[in-house]
Structure 1
Amino acid sequence: MSPVLELRQLSVAYGGIQAVKGLNLHLQEGELVSLIGANGAGKTTTLKAICGLLAPQSGEVLYQGRSLKGQGAWDLVAQGLVMVPEGRGIFTRMTIDENLRMGAYLRRDREVNADMESVYQRFPRLKERHRQLAGTLSGGEQQMLAMGRALLARPKLLLLDEPSMGLAPLMVDKIFEVITDIAKQGVTVLLVEQNAHRALEIANRAYVMDSGELVLEGPAQSLLNDPQVQAAYLGL
């Protein structure tokens, strides 16, 4: 079976700076895969190249067996490739309800309202405040909103960039619980996360990135118990 996502020798540069160097990575349908590494390792750049926000210098990105060359992020959302960016990227002057409906902007089916209600059941705090401006929410509530908006697009492949960054411990627990549940429902997930321990705990497989290159890969549980990973990324 072809991978849902495959990177073949992907390289990305900012001017003269080589941010990503010859990356080979794949996700099979239904997998939850974590990509971990230090700040500046190239993780966010990789996600931006996958979803059409950055043009690769060389190599290619394949989604469902087809090259994504020349396609923009808007094309990919329509095909089920959706990203929740670092920093959430919500529309601060729109209400919670309006933000969620923006996630369904490209949809033409009649199940949007039902999916809205499903998101509200997943995140009751959003339902309580559905007419509130998104910019007045806490960081954790904004992260819930960003994830809910992505779910309204009915993703087949969901890219998550640092979903727990800056959140209180209880909110971090909630976010990881939701990510696990999304994966159990059959959505393929690529998770970029600074909290390497939590990311490895919930993933099927994982890749470790350093200075733009992949330096380790394998079953997440094996990497969680790897002395090299523990010393470099888990603080043990």
Structure 2
Amino acid sequence: MRTGAGPGAAPVLEVTGLAAGYGKIAVLHEVSLRIMPGEVVALLGPNGAGKTTLLRAVSGLLPLSGGEVRFAGQDMRGAGPREAARAGLVHVIEGHRVFTQISVADNLLLAGYDLPRAERAQRIEEALEYFPEIAAKRQDRGGALSGGQQQMLVVAQGLVRRPRLMMLDEPSAGLSPVLVDRVLGVVAALREKGTSVLLVEQLIEKALAVSDRVYAMVQGRIALEAAADEPDLPLRLERSYFGGESPLHLHG
């Protein structure tokens, strides 16, 4: 396992006792997790476990009903998605669609709307380096891209923000196996550059292959924390999913 920060480094994201939900429906219960600088963390769990809700609460799309979120030492309670993105916390939302009537380049320009022009142009080129397929189509309308290429463009939009932490919600959804590997290859490349990633993914083996640590969520709670390369992890994940394991906290 590779860890992205030296001893004594502060977490880039620290979630403590977080509670959130929709109206009177409580979804998250006392959720705590941490992500270190340059670390990839997989967030796994069955459908309905609360993974997407957790990402929405962390990025300011959903208000907290308890607990706290600290990003780079900053209290994020009350911060909205725009403030989070400006701080370097970028959330790539599952099923997010690109603007189909404007070009690939203009989609990326919009992602960096508040940046100085020269810096915005540089960041767009940086983002496109990860995805040669869409770099070659920069003047094409977003709607002319395949579904897989649109997913790449969504990730590239997040990269324009040059995030300290990128949260990816099901980036493989609807992609062919080859394109899944391309998108997850970007996760590995981001880690090498010191960017932290929180990855929600149903393809467990592929997620673990690019991750340092893993959290499993079940029924709105963290049921397991472990190193991603722990030998008996698949068995422990299965037990946690189906109720055979009480909440554990094993630090990798």
Q: Tell me the TM-score normalized by structure 2.
A: 0.87
Residues in 2 aligned to 1:14 and 1:61: alpha-carbon distance in whole angstroms: 18
Match of 1:39 among 47, 54, 57: 47
Following TM superposition, the consecutive aligned residue runs of length 4 or more in structure 1 with deviations greater than 3 angstroms are 223-226, 230-233
Of 208, 217, 223 in structure 2, the residue corresponding to residue 215 of structure 1 is: 223
Shift of 1:221: 1.0
2:118 is aligned to: 110
**Bigger shift: 60-69 or 38-47?**
60-69
1:110 shift after superposition: 2.4
Which among 64, 74, 82 is matched to residue 74 of structure 1?
82
1:89 counterpart residue number: 97
Amino acid at match of 2:12: V
Q: Distance in 2 between matches of 1:120 and 1:17?
A: 41
Percentage identity across paired residues of the two chains: 38
CA shift digits 1:166-217 (9 cap, x unpaired):
1111111111111111111111111111111111111001100011011000
- CA drift of 1:232 comes to 7.0
| Number of the residue aligned with 1:165 | 173
User: How far apart are the structure 1 equivalents of 2:67 and 2:126?
Assistant: 39
Q: 2 CA distance for matches of 1:19 and 1:223?
A: 31
Q: Structure 2: which 5+ residue stretches go unaligned? A: 1-8, 242-252
Structure 2 CA distance, aligned partners of 1:127 and 1:194? 28
Q: Could you state the TM-score of these two structures normalised by the residue count of structure 1?
A: 0.93
Structure 1 window deviating more from structure 2 (117-126 vs 163-172): it is 117-126
1:53 alignment partner in structure 2: 61
SS state at 2:118 partner: coil
1:49 match: secondary structure: helix
Q: 1:232 to 1:71 in 2, by over 3 A?
A: closer
Decide whether aligned partners of structure 1 residues 232 and 9 sit closer, same or farther in structure 2, where only a CA change above 3 A counts. Answer: closer
191, 195, 205: which is aligned to 1:187?
Answer: 195
> C-alpha displacement at 1:142, in angstroms?
0.8
| Structure 1 unaligned residues grouped into runs of 5+ | none
User: Does residue 144 of the first structure (1) align with residue 155 of the second (2)?
Assistant: no
Cα pair distance change 1:154/1:109, threshold 3 Å: farther
Partner of 2:131: 123
Q: Say which structure, 1 or 2, has more relative contact order (CA 8 Å, 6+ apart).
A: 1
Amino acid aligned to 2:173: M
1:223–1:148 Cα change, 3 Å: farther
The alignment of Structure 1 onto Structure 2 pairs a total of residues equal to 233
Deviates more, 1:109-118 or 1:83-92: 109-118
